Amino acid sequence: MMVGDKSFSKLTGVEKAAVLLLCLGEETTTKVFEELPDDDVRIISRCMMNISHVSAPLAKDVIEAFKKDSAEYTGLFVQGREFVRKAIASAGDPGRVNNLIEQVENTADERPLETISLMQPRMVASLLQSEHPQTVALILSTQKPEHTSRVVSFLPEELRADIMYRIARIDKVSHEVIAQIEEALQREIGVVNEGDQQQVGGIDKVVEILGRMEGGLDRDILDSIDEEDTELAEEIKRRMFTFEDLGELDNRALQTILREVNNDQLTMALKSCSDGVKDKIFANISERAASMIEEDLEAMGPVRLSEVETMQQTIVDIALKLEEEGQIVIAGRGGGDVLV
């Protein structure tokens, strides 16, 4: 049941606040948002964005509950998302406005367990470590990657890889499952959820989380996942490092990789890459080789994108193999230089 169709007695405090502000209008909401803490603005705004209609009886009950005259209100149809944007846009300095709008719009559908996102990572880890690993994985898969990465770092070492493996295997989760988790943790967690299913986990989420970990934890976790599922671990590694990332490597590390690649492979791979990566690669091979490749690229006719991407992946695999052998350390996973 949508918020706007509920009876007053079934509304939560946040829902009552959201309905009241929608009834009072943008100007009043703007003034209220100016006085509220950012966390409260985010929570109420996400609730408002999911409301498309407020029934007349509910509007009347809410306004009467707050000692307001409800005679002129007969129900409201609203554009929740646009309403929130306008209200926030007038509330405070530009930096705060942009930050709030970005957080509300970009994460409203990604973090159904709202309160977890507002808790300190160490506290979340303490709260969750006694739960079943699948429950922990589901909860953490709904959070921002940087928050999840910090939470995982506080979990017992023996749990970290198992949690990340389970997150990678999560796809869409039904509303009922999330509701059950919310009920079990009702004193700590609030739910913002719409639709029958939510995209919460998956390999891409794991890539984002691991990419934000420090102290070599990402490598330890990947090694543990590799013991359980080599294919999954390789897929995660490939997504953590792409052909475009070659442009971020230290020159010596890049030269080590390029020594394992012939000119034909490199020419094909450079067909669709960015100018920045192309320039970085040309700066790390001989002038003669660079000139030959440039001529070949100019003379090369149309090529299937799939063929180019396959060759780029071949070079990425070479880089990952060299890292596994200890010949280089890839930037973002411990450095970016050749080991000597």
Q: How much is the average pLDDT of 249-253? A: 91
For a pLDDT cut of 70, what percent of the chain falls above it?
75
> Does 258 share its domain with 296?
yes
> Does 332 share its domain with 264?
yes
Instruction: Output the CA–CA distances (angstroms, integers) from residue 81 to 87, 106, 112, 137, in the order listed.
Output: 10, 12, 17, 30
Mean pLDDT is highest, among 51-65, 84-98, 140-154, for 140-154
Q: Which residue is associated with the tokens 């090369």?
A: 300
Domain containing 136 — which CATH number?
A: 1.10.220.30
Beta bridge partners of 174: 197
Residue 96 belongs to some domain of the structure: no
Residue 135 belongs to some domain of the structure: yes
Q: What residue numbers bound the domain in which 233 lies?
A: 200-240
- Concatenate the DSSP letters of all residues of 232-256 into one string: HHHHHHHHHS-GGGGGGS-HHHHHH
Q: CA 57, 62, 67, 71 torsion: positive or negative?
A: negative
Using pLDDT thresholds of 50, 70 and 90, give the confidence band for residue 81: low
> pLDDT value at position 13?
79
* Residue where a domain stops, chosen among 149, 172, 190: 190
Work out the number of other CB atoms within 10 angstroms of the CB of residue 186. 11
Residue 87 belongs to some domain of the structure: no
Residue 80 belongs to some domain of the structure: no
The tens digit of pLDDT for each residue in 193-219 reads 333 444 556 787 787 888 777 767 887
Beta bridge partners of 76: 54
> Does 186 share its domain with 275?
no
Q: Is the pLDDT of residue 86 over 60?
A: yes
Mean pLDDT is highest, among 120-134, 191-205, 319-333, for 120-134
> Does 68 share its domain with 131?
no
Using pLDDT thresholds of 50, 70 and 90, give the confidence band for residue 189: very low
Provide the b/e sequence for 134-163 (b: ≥16 CB within 10 Å). ebbbbbbbbbbbebbbbbbbbbeeebbbbb
Residue 183 belongs to some domain of the structure: yes
> Does 118 share its domain with 166?
yes
> pLDDT value at position 269?
92
> Does 40 share its domain with 60?
yes
> pLDDT value at position 193?
35
Residue 91 belongs to some domain of the structure: no
Q: How much is the average pLDDT of 238-258? A: 89
What is the number of structural domains in the chain?
Answer: 4
> Does 176 share its domain with 212?
no
Domain containing 51 — which CATH number?
A: 1.10.220
- Concatenate the DSSP letters of all residues of 188-203 into one string: T--B---SSEEE--SH
Q: Which residue is associated with the tokens 């999330």?
A: 178
Residue 323 belongs to some domain of the structure: yes
- Cβ neighbors of 228 (< 8 A, separation 6 or more) are 161, 165
Amino acid letter, residue 283: A
Q: CA 142, 144, 147, 153 torsion: positive or negative?
A: positive
> Does 257 share its domain with 334?
yes
* Whether the model pTM is above 0.85: no
Q: Where are the alpha helices (DSSP H) in 229-327?
A: 230-240, 251-258, 263-269, 275-282, 287-299, 305-324
Using pLDDT thresholds of 50, 70 and 90, give the confidence band for residue 191: very low
- The residue with greater pLDDT, 253 or 238, is 253
> pLDDT value at position 265?
92
> Does 231 share its domain with 255?
no
Residue 86 belongs to some domain of the structure: no
Q: How much is the average pLDDT of 272-289? A: 92
Q: How much is the average pLDDT of 46-53? A: 82
> pLDDT value at position 260?
93
Using pLDDT thresholds of 50, 70 and 90, give the confidence band for residue 284: very high
Q: How far, in Å, CA of 164 to CA of 242, rounded?
A: 21
The tens digit of pLDDT for each residue in 214-224 reads 767 887 888 88
> Does 169 share its domain with 235?
no
> Does 64 share its domain with 45?
yes
> Does 122 share its domain with 168?
yes
